[in-house]
Amino acid sequence: MLSIKNISFSYQETKVLSGVSLSLEKGNHLSVMGESGSGKSTLLKAIYGLLHLDSGEIFWENQKILGPNFNLVPGEKYMKYVAQDFDLMPFTSVAENIAEHLSAFEMDTHADRIEELLKVIEMVDFANVKVKNLSGGQKQRVALARALAQEPEILLLDEPFSSIDQFKKNQLRHNLFPYLKEKGITVLNATHDPEDVLSFADSILVLKNGEMLAYNTIAQLYQKPKEKYVASLFGQVNELPISLLKEYSEVDASILVYPHELEISKDSGFEVYVVNNHFKGSHYLVEAVAENGQSVLFKNLHALKIHARAYLNVSLQLVNKRLLPK
Ligand code: ADP
Ligand code: MG
């Protein structure tokens, strides 16, 4: 188990992480989410032992992770950290870059292992290509394979698909995360892409200005986000004054509603006027404005006429779930 106990860290005077605590069972996957600058990379570096913490402790099983003041070579052996700037050997081949990280005691299995890892990153045909001739996304995939070469117990991924195009990204996610599960590798994945999270993470830690804003399962955070920042990590979301709904016209509070949860009706609900339609493939995201000037996004199968009037409804059940604390 990975246990992080109330850690804080600052660069010079600036606090970057404060009071972060979590525990992650062996083999579980945690996504670390938050806007850029929220402290995701710093948290991964702290776990890897690259930082001297202001306070708090980190343990893997019963072993304390010591910072750079105690470790001559930074980083722990049973852990791999795939940084945002992957440093590969440019003048050697993809296969050699991976082989360099395989154990010298298992030479006879190297070819099989390299093949297995190349399959995960879908680069079997690139085995003999020099790294300097690869695209940024391909380099990122090689960096992933290299980190997996020694089957680490913990894998720290810092935005692992940031340089990879949308086509490859989906395929890679479907190869990589089940592979890691099967191998029982504990994973912390820093990302701001909800697609990385929704089907693959067991839990999510949300950081904002270096503080833990939420730490829960995806279902909990998606269904009952405590603030818009959390809901926004899953995509677009409306924060609506509840007084828009007739039954609550006197109530001063707001609710979070995802665009697909607003029900459109011919004649009942609150009134909005269509401003714009955004094509999303399977549907349109319609941008509208309510009488009080509130802008509202909702989903519709077809585009609606600009300036057309529509009525929207929010179910009672949703009102109960999504009321934001004042
Ligand atoms: P994220 O990965 O979520 O984008 P980071 O962990 O990289 O965020 O950064 C968190 C904060 O720490 C940011 O405000 C960033 O400017 C600051 N920071 C990161 N690295 C350094 C550094 N080497 N020196 C000073 N400040 C830094
Ligand atoms: Mg980062």
Per-residue pLDDT reduced to its tens digit, 75-88 = 677 899 998 777 78
Say if ligand 1 is within 6 A of residue 36 CB: yes
Burial 303-313 (b: 16+ CB within 10 A, else e): ebeeeeebebe
| Closest of 260, 292, 264, 288 to residue 276, by C-alpha | 288
Assign 74 a pLDDT band (cuts: 50, 70, 90): low
Say if ligand 1 is within 6 A of residue 18 CB: no
Ligand 1 atom with least separation from CA of 38: 3
Query: How much distance in Å is there from the Cα of 42 to the middle of ligand 1?
Result: 6
Residue 243 has pLDDT above 80, yes or no: yes
pLDDT of residue 13: 86
Number of C-beta neighbours around residue 188 at 10 A: 27
Say if ligand 1 is within 6 A of residue 38 CB: yes
Mean pLDDT calculated for residue range 7-16? 94
Which residues line ion ligand 2, judged by CB < 5 Å?
40-41
Average pLDDT, the chain: 91
Are the C-beta atoms of 263 and 312 separated by less than 8 Å? yes
Assign 72 a pLDDT band (cuts: 50, 70, 90): low
Assign 66 a pLDDT band (cuts: 50, 70, 90): confident
| Rg, the chain, Cα only | 24
Mean pLDDT calculated for residue range 130-150? 92
pLDDT of residue 84: 76
Check residues 321 and 276 and name the one with the higher pLDDT.
Answer: 276
Percent of the chain with pLDDT strictly greater than 70: 98
Say if ligand 1 is within 6 A of residue 37 CB: yes
Answer whether 0.85 is exceeded by the pTM.
yes
Say if ligand 1 is within 6 A of residue 131 CB: no
Ligand 1 atom with least separation from CA of 17: 10
Tokens linked to 54: 């202001």
Assign 166 a pLDDT band (cuts: 50, 70, 90): confident
Least confident range from 102-111, 186-195, 291-300, 308-317: namely 102-111
